[in-house]
Amino acid sequence: MDARHSEGRKALGMTHPTFFKRVDAPDLGEIIAWTGARAPEGADLSIRIRGVAPLESARPGDLAFLDNAKYAAVLHQTRASACLLTKHFADKTPPGTVALIAADPYRAFATALARLYPDSLRPGAMFGANGVSPGAYIHPVARLEDGAIVDPGAVIGPGAVIGAGSVIGANAVVGPDVRIGRNCSIGANASVQHALIGDNVILHPGVRIGQDGFGFAMGPGGHQKVPQIGRVIIQDHVEIGANSAVDRGANRDTIVGEGTKIDNLVQIGHNVIIGRHCVIVSQVGIAGSVELGDFVALGGQVGIAGHLKIGTGAQIAAQSGVISDVPPGARWGGAPAMPMRDFFRRMIELDKLAARANESGGGRRRWSEGGEPAPKKE
């Protein structure tokens, strides 16, 4: 970078961009009170925490964490003032770093982050203004509770209700009669129609809620569109990642249960019922009329065929194709998906077959086009 470029960056304030402002500089005593962690006897609890950082780049004044043995080798190099970790790693903490022992270091770290950087918990207004910004379009019979924020370019249709503390992002569209609860964040360019949304819901930019389900009466003369007259019900504390889509029901409601977390680029078809506190990872596709129990976890790129039931607590491995019901608590994987024990057994047998083929000469004997063994080369 030449000197002129460097000076230009400084003039624009680009040398050290900070998008989330720390609201406090707590001492270790406060960190312990927040997280329930334990410090070694005699530790200096007056040390101030002025930031957070990974183990390898942390400096004095930073808080770090360790919850994966894979990164244990980095612990002895850290310069963090304190590190949240389990008792197992406490003796490996270097001098100058206070070991804060926690049963779940990652959860404790998340608790501290939330107190230090509360603005990072949910998307805020892009325009940085309160109330209805210039350029927003609010229908005269829409109703906004006090404290709702609407960014420029947003459209709110007739009869829609927006709860207090909710933020409607730039160019987002809220359709007629939609209900959005309190303290929600509707991201930029999102669209919400035919939907009832609870409190503390986050819809990230580009999310699509309540559009037509994919319903057609197929036949040799063409495919007749089936009207989709249901709704989408999203319960409290749900988070849906960027560019995901939740179709409205055909003749009943599509439901996303309380506390469920959905990653980016997920497709949820019409009439799907998702239980409470499910985790659905990126690029999952759920076909129509599937039912997920509570606490189901779907890995990335899982595909689920229509009209199936996935039992409470079931876990489906990434890239699995589910074509039959999954019992509660099961762990399945593969395509087609099966119990993990069966999946691993089949993989082992395939490895054995491949090894035997290699030991017997591999491809030296090939079948000719006429179906007879090709002559062996001397």
As annotated, the active-site residues are 270
Q: Residue 79 and residue 89: Cα distance in Å, rounded?
A: 16
Helix (H, G, I), strand (E, B) or coil at 213: coil
Helix (H, G, I), strand (E, B) or coil at 297: strand
Picking from 215, 220, 257, 225, the residue whose alpha carbon sits closest to that of residue 240 is 257
Please give the backbone phi and psi of residue 74, each rounded to the nearest 5 degrees, phi first.
-80, -20
For the chain, count helices (H), then strands (E).
5, 36
Picking from 283, 352, 291, 288, the residue whose alpha carbon sits closest to that of residue 320 is 283
Is 228:270 a contact under the CB 8 Å cutoff? yes
Long-range contacts formed by 276-285: CB under 8 A, 24+ apart: 276/235, 281/318, 282/241
Question: CA dist 259 to 115, 202, 270, Å?
Answer: 20, 11, 20
Question: CA dist 16 to 9, 10, 19, 21, 24, Å?
Answer: 10, 9, 10, 13, 19
Is 317:340 a contact under the CB 8 Å cutoff? yes
User: DSSP code of 122?
Assistant: S
User: What angle (nearest 5°) sits at the alpha carbon of residue 118, between those of residues 69 and 130?
Assistant: 150
Is 127:36 a contact under the CB 8 Å cutoff? no
User: What angle (nearest 5°) sits at the alpha carbon of residue 328, between those of residues 255 and 296?
Assistant: 45
Picking from 120, 119, 169, 168, the residue whose alpha carbon sits closest to that of residue 144 is 168
In this structure, the number of other CB atoms found within 10 A of the CB of residue 130 comes to 11
Question: CA dist 335 to 85, 124, 231, 319, 346, Å?
Answer: 38, 41, 32, 8, 12
